[in-house]
């Protein structure tokens, strides 16, 4: 069906990408910011130990402080970045002391003190000067006051951390990252974090590498774009996108005419759970947003007593991943019978077990996160209740259970399509569906390597395998395969073209996406190679997004084949419109807003600001959220009886979600991000991340301006979707058969006798099919989209 060149291209990109990633993984372990065994004074007395740094890191992670503020730029946006915060406070303390001592050049002395690397690899000891130790004690007092405050003035629970030992450990962790941010790497004139954060007190400014690799990544983008469009102009006709084939007329099988299997019927419950999680996530997002305009009161209620900002954000972020992923899993289960034409007995039992496991993981992990944040003693270092790094916040046990659940899901899929796989070549569409599905649990499992006790740089490396590689690359791939397959099943895209789109997608996304993972690790204490490769390759991530936009999402060739006389309209209007929205947000949210913060020199000043949140919302909701809703509506269209299908609600939901999201980004996130970036460059990163700036009057107006969009999003977009999902449960068509048409949600018809245009004589016309083979291992001469003998009419 497709030439071997495509497969070789995929293999080449994958092998190259993961070989380099292996090399970078090795460097992460050997050349990252070292965690000392002990920090000592000049006399050898221990100030704090490596174990205390790790303990402090675990407190930071388990008490949800990464969902409030950030460390090395990664985390929440409301609180300070603790690396920058400690660096500023300790540097100010030392500078004041040096100035008071009357030395000639206090700033020069401060720079020398902070940038001199006194780490001894042989002993694992790091030596602090007396002033650095005094600064440590002073800053420790500040954190004791900050985290021990009896009020909810910071959006955190009262008296959050009062144990002096815990404050000591937490400060030790901040002090260590701050040391790595200023102390120069051996043999280099920049710090372990590539001189991040920008801090004039210690002469932290952009390095030559940051500027050069920013320029080179721009050049790589332009060259690659030029090359792609040149190739596209040369080959696009051959690839078949713009072939405009002569096609036989189609009649789409109408909802109600398409029998559903028991497992497909079971997915109605999945979609209802997905919708409820989406609703909860949206309300939590509104709460998080409200903290930014009024930190101490939610319309008169002291919300932080029950739902502190870090818990609200933890749940908001977790649910965003869980509901979108769950919708993809459910859509996969729904599609499996259409792929094989048959559903094994008791497949629906497995589906219900998976749903139960999902519900258990969601409830268990959210409960664990709450216990962990509230500081319940049972949660401390507990695999069941102790939360972990941002985005993979689930406690270890639930993370493991979710991984097992994902493997169970792919086992369900395999069981469902096993018969079909046996008769297909290993690179045909059913196998691509299986491979892309298998990548989901496989790459999610990598997150297990990023425990809360793992050294920061190493944890960051593996964490972003999940955040970037799993989400941005392999979920993207799986959804592309699903969408392509859906359109093949609907008969509106030829199998060969679908496969070409999928393989091109793999090549383009993976070429930039695999090594592009490193754009998250510019300042995480990893070697400069991570930044160089991350900048260079992640610039290429814009290409597929641009390409697909120029291509106008080639799948949209619907209607061109809708020429049947059987009065059977296309049943998936709003699913397709959600896919149109995915294309739009892919370009704007992932492409434009993503590239806006991708260059190292921009990231250097903006990391952890509202521009990051802008990209996150526009791409996560805009791409995966819209995709999740679109896939849900596709399945629900067959599960809800035709006379109960609420087309108007689907329309309202579509427009409200999109208008609400556009408002969210343009009203608040983008302008606030630009202002914060300007403030960061002009006044300093510490100032731009301070609460004084974030909750300042001007910003508060911006935040309030977002409210209309949020209300439209929630009540016009999410609530109708919940209702549609409820209808899917309430009136779902029961599964009555184990056999369904294989890949045929349409019927090809012959056009007989049509009227000549312009009122002339009637002409009988019989269309001629394209006559494509179905590819490897399929029956010769069979046309794409042929209704199989076992596919009922």
Partner 1 sequence: MEQVNPDVWFALGYGSFLLLVAHVLDVLARRTAAATTSARSGGFEYHEGHDAWTCSEDQWLWPISFDPDNRVTRYRAAPTVCNPCPVKDDCTPSHAGREIVRNIDSWPSSEAERFHRGIACSVVVLAVVWPIAVMFQGRTGLELVILSAASALIAGCSWRLWSHLRRAPARFPDHLAALGLEENEQQKAAISATELARRSGYGSIRKTGPRAVPEKEVR
Distance from C-alpha of 444 to C-alpha of 440, rounded to nearest angstrom: 6
**Per rule CB under 8 A, is residue 694 in the interface with partner 1?**
no
Say whether residue 377 binds partner 1 (CB under 8 A): no
Q: Which of 122, 758, 780, 781 binds partner 1 (CB under 8 A)?
A: 758
Those residues whose C-beta lies under 8 Å from the C-beta of residue 341, and which sit 6 or more positions away, are 420, 739, 740, 741, 742, 743, 788, 790, 791
Q: In the window 132-171, what residues touch partner 1 (CB under 8 A)?
A: none
**Of 3 and 116, CB closest to partner 1:** 3
* Piece of the chain touching partner 1 by CB under 8 A; list 192-200, 392-400, 577-585, 687-695: 577-585
Kindly tell me which of 103 and 550 has the beta carbon lying closer to partner 1.
550
Q: Which is nearer to partner 1, 423 or 754 (CB)?
A: 754
Q: Which is nearer to partner 1, 25 or 649 (CB)?
A: 649
- Residues in 346-375 at the binding interface with partner 1, rule: CB under 8 A: none
- Please report, for residues 606, 672, 692, the alpha-carbon distance to residue 698 in angstroms, rounded to integers and kept in the order given: 19, 10, 11
According to CB under 8 A, which one of 49, 162, 563, 737 is a site residue for partner 1?
563
Return the residues of window 252-281 that contact partner 1 according to CB under 8 A: 254-257
Please report how close the Cβ of residue 644 comes to partner 1 at its closest, in angstroms.
10
CA dist., res. 532 & res. 526, Å (int): 11
Q: How far apart are CA 211 and CA 552, in angstroms?
A: 34
Interacting span for partner 1 (CB under 8 A) from 102-110, 502-510, 532-540, 549-557? 549-557
Q: Does 752 bind partner 1 (CB under 8 A)?
A: no
Of 151, 200, 701, 730, the one binding partner 1 (CB under 8 A) is 701
Structural contact between residues 343 and 336, judged by C-beta atoms closer than 8 angstroms? yes
Q: Binding to partner 1 by residue 244, rule CB under 8 A?
A: yes
Report in angstroms how near the CB of residue 254 gets to partner 1 at its nearest. Answer: 6
Report residue 136 CA to chain centroid gap.
Answer: 36
Stretch that binds partner 1, among 216-224, 426-434, 511-519, 554-562 (CB under 8 A): 554-562
Nearer to partner 1, 42 or 779 (CB): 779
Q: Least Å distance between CB 610 and partner 1?
A: 14
Q: By CB under 8 A, name the one of 34, 684, 720, 791 that touches partner 1.
A: 791
Q: Which stretch binds partner 1 (CB under 8 A): 20-28, 147-155, 249-257, 418-426?
A: 249-257
- Which is nearer to partner 1, 655 or 723 (by Cβ)? 655
Binding test (CB under 8 A) with partner 1, winner from 616, 705, 722, 729: 705
Which of 238, 346, 426, 730 is the binder for partner 1 (CB under 8 A)? Answer: 238
Query: Of 120, 146, 144, 158, which is closest to residue 37 (Cα–Cα)?
Result: 120
Nearest to 611 by CA among 679, 691, 660, 540: 679
By beta-carbon proximity to partner 1, the closer residue of 601 and 712 is: 712
Pick the stretch among 212-220, 349-357, 407-415, 544-552 that binds partner 1 (CB under 8 A).
544-552
**Neighbour count for residue 291 (Cβ, 10 Å):** 24
Could you say which of 490, 580, 657, 724 contacts partner 1 (CB under 8 A)?
A: 580
Encoding tokens for residue 312?
């609200």
Under rule CB under 8 A, residue 770 binds partner 1: yes
Residue from the set 14, 359, 616, 751 that interacts with partner 1 by CB under 8 A: 751
Quick check: bond before 244 cis, omega within 30? no
Kindly state the tokens that stand for 703. 């935040």
771 in contact with partner 1 (CB under 8 A): yes
**Binding to partner 1 (CB under 8 A): which residues in 723-742?**
none
Q: What is the nearest approach in angstroms of partner 1 to the Cβ of residue 752?
A: 11
- Nearest distance, CB of residue 74 and partner 1, angstroms: 28
Judged by CB under 8 A, the number of residues near partner 1 is 72
Minimal distance in Å, beta carbon 423 to partner 1? 19
Instruction: Choose the stretch contacting partner 1; rule: CB under 8 A; options: 457-465, 535-543, 556-564, 601-609.
Output: 556-564
CA distances from 489 to 256, 494, 561, 741, 787 (A): 17, 9, 14, 10, 10
Distance CA 746, CA 245 (A): 18
β-bridge partners, 204:
199
CB of 14 to partner 1, least distance (A): 29
Out of 67, 551, 743, 784, the residue judged to bind partner 1 by CB under 8 A: 551
Q: What is the dihedral of CA 271, 273, 276, 281, to 10 degrees?
A: -100
Stretch that binds partner 1, among 101-109, 147-155, 518-526, 574-582 (CB under 8 A): 574-582
Exposed e or buried b for every residue in 177-200, given b needs 16+ CB within 10 A?
bbbbbbbebeeeebbbbbbbbbbe
Please list, in sequence order, all residues whose beta carbon lies within 8 angstroms of the beta carbon of residue 490, skipping any fewer than 6 positions away. Answer: 252, 558, 570, 572, 745, 746
CB of 646 to partner 1, least distance (A): 14
Residue 245 within binding range of partner 1, rule CB under 8 A: yes
For 582, other C-beta atoms within 10 Å of its C-beta total 25
CB neighbour list of residue 364: distance below 8 Å, 6 or more residues apart: 384, 395, 397, 398, 401
Q: Smallest distance from the beta carbon of 583 to partner 1, in angstroms? A: 8
Q: 320-357: b or e for each residue (b if 16 or more CB lie within 10 Å)?
A: bbbbbbbbbbbbbbbbbbbbbbbbbeebbebbeebbeb
For position 754 contacting partner 1 by CB under 8 A, the verdict is yes
Taking residues 638 to 667 in sequence order and writing x for each that binds partner 1 by CB under 8 A, - otherwise, the string is ---xxx-----------x--xx--xx--xx
Give the residue with the Cβ less far from partner 1, 255 or 308.
255
Where does this chain touch partner 1 (CB under 8 A) — which range of 70-78, 222-230, 525-533, 768-776? 768-776
Our CB check for partner 1 shows the closer of 102 and 789 to be: 789
> Could you tell me the smallest distance in angstroms from the CB atom of residue 143 to partner 1?
34
d(CA 433, CA 331): 12
**Min separation Cβ 559 and partner 1, Å:** 5
Measured between alpha carbons, how far is 636 from 725 in angstroms, rounded to an integer?
A: 7
SS3 296: coil
Distance separating alpha carbons of residues 228 and 54, to the nearest angstrom:
47
Exposed, middle or buried, 407 (CB in 10 Å: 0-12/13-18/19+)?
Answer: middle
Phi, psi of 252, rounded to the nearest 5 degrees: -75, 135
Rg (CA), the chain: 28
Q: Least CB distance from residue 234 to partner 1, whole Å?
A: 13
Least Å from the CB of residue 478 to partner 1: 23
Residues 218-237 contacting partner 1, CB under 8 A: 237
If one asks whether residue 765 binds partner 1 (CB under 8 A), the answer comes out as yes
Q: Judging by beta carbons within 10 Å of its beta carbon (0-12, 13-18, 19+), is residue 82 exposed, middle or buried?
A: buried
Indicate whether 3 belongs to the interface with partner 1 (CB under 8 A). Answer: no
Cα Dmax for the chain: 106
- Region of 163-171, 365-373, 564-572, 715-723 interacting with partner 1 (CB under 8 A): 564-572
Report, in Å, the least distance between residue 685 CB and partner 1.
21
At residue 163, φ and ψ (nearest 5 deg) are -70, 120
């Amino acid at each position: 069906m497709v030439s071997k060149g495509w497969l070789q291209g995929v293999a080449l990109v994958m092998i190259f990408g993961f070989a380099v990633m292996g090399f970078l993984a090795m460097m992460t372990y050997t050349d990252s910011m070292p965690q000392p065994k002990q920090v000592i004074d000049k006399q050898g007395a221990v100030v704090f130990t490596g174990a205390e740094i790790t303990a402090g890191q675990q407190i930071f992670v388990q008490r949800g402080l990464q969902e409030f503020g950030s460390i090395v730029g990664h985390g929440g946006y409301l609180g300070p970045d603790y690396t920058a915060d400690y660096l500023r406070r300790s540097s100010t303390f030392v500078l004041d002391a040096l100035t008071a001592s009357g030395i000639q050049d206090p700033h020069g002395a401060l720079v020398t003190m902070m940038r001199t690397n006194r780490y001894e690899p042989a002993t694992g000891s790091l030596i602090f000067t007396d002033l650095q130790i005094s600064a440590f004690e002073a800053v420790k007092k500040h954190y004791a006051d900050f985290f021990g405050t009896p009020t909810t003035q910071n959006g955190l629970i009262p008296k959050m951390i009062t144990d002096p030992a815990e404050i000591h450990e937490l400060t030790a962790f901040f002090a260590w990252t701050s040391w790595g941010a200023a102390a120069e790497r051996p043999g280099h004139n920049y710090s372990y974090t590539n001189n991040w954060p920008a801090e004039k007190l210690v002469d932290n400014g952009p390095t030559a590498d940051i500027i050069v690799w920013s320029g080179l990544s721009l050049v790589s983008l332009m060259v690659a774009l030029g090359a792609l469009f040149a190739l596209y102009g040369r080959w696009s006709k051959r690839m078949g996108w713009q072939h405009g084939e002569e096609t036989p007329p189609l009649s789409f099988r109408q909802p109600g005419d398409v029998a559903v299997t028991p497992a497909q019927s079971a997915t109605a419950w999945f979609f209802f759970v997905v919708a409820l999680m989406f609703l909860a996530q949206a309300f939590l997002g509104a709460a998080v947003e409200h903290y930014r305009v009024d930190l101490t009161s939610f319309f008169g209620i002291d919300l932080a007593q029950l739902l502190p900002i870090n818990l609200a954000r933890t749940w908001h972020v977790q649910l965003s991943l869980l509901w979108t992923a769950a919708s993809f899993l459910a859509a996969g289960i729904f599609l499996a019978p259409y792929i094989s034409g048959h559903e094994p007995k008791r497949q629906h039992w497995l589906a219900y077990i998976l749903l139960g496991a999902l519900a258990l993981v969601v409830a268990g992990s959210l409960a664990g996160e709450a216990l962990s944040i509230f500081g319940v003693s049972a949660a401390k270092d507990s695999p069941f209740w102790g939360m972990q790094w941002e985005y993979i916040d689930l406690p270890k046990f639930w993370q493991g259970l979710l991984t097992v659940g994902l493997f169970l899901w792919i086992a369900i899929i395999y069981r469902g399509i096993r018969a079909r796989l046996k008769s297909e070549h290993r690179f045909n569409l059913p196998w691509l569906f299986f491979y892309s599905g298998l990548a989901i649990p496989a790459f999610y499992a990598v997150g297990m390597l990023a425990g809360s006790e793992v050294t920061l740089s190493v944890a960051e490396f593996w964490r972003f395998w999940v955040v970037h590689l799993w989400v941005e690359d392999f979920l993207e791939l799986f959804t592309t395969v699903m969408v392509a397959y859906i359109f093949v099943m609907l008969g509106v895209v030829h199998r060969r073209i679908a496969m070409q789109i999928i393989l091109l997608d793999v090549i383009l996304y993976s070429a930039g996406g695999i090594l592009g993972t490193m754009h998250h690790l510019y300042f995480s204490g990893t070697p400069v190679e991570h930044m160089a490769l991350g900048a260079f390759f992640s610039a290429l991530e814009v290409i597929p997004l641009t390409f697909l936009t120029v291509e106008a999402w080639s799948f949209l060739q619907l209607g061109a084949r809708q020429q049947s006389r059987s009065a059977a309209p296309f049943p998936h209007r709003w699913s397709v419109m959600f896919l149109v929205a995915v294309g739009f947000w892919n370009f704007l949210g992932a492409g434009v807003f993503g590239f806006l913060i991708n260059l190292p020199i921009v990231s250097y000043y903006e990391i952890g600001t509202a521009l990051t949140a802008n990209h996150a919302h526009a791409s996560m909701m805009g791409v995966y959220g819209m995709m999740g809703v679109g896939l849900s509506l596709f399945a629900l269209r067959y599960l809800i009886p035709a006379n109960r299908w609420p087309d108007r609600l689907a329309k309202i939901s579509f427009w409200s979600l999109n208008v609400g999201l556009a408002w969210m980004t343009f009203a608040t996130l983008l302008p606030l991000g630009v202002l914060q970036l300007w403030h960061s460059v002009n006044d300093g990163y510490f100032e731009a991340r301070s609460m004084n700036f974030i909750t300042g009057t001007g910003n508060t107006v911006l935040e309030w301006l977002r409210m209309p969009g949020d209300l439209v999003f929630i009540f016009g977009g999410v609530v109708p979707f919940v209702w549609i999902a409820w209808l899917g449960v309430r009136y779902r068509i029961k599964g009555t058969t184990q056999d369904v048409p294989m890949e045929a949600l349409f019927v090809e018809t012959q056009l007989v006798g049509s009227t000549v245009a312009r009122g002339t004589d009637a002409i009988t016309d019989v269309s001629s099919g394209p006559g494509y083979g179905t590819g490897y291992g399929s029956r010769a001469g069979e046309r794409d989209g042929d209704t199989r003998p076992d596919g009922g009419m």
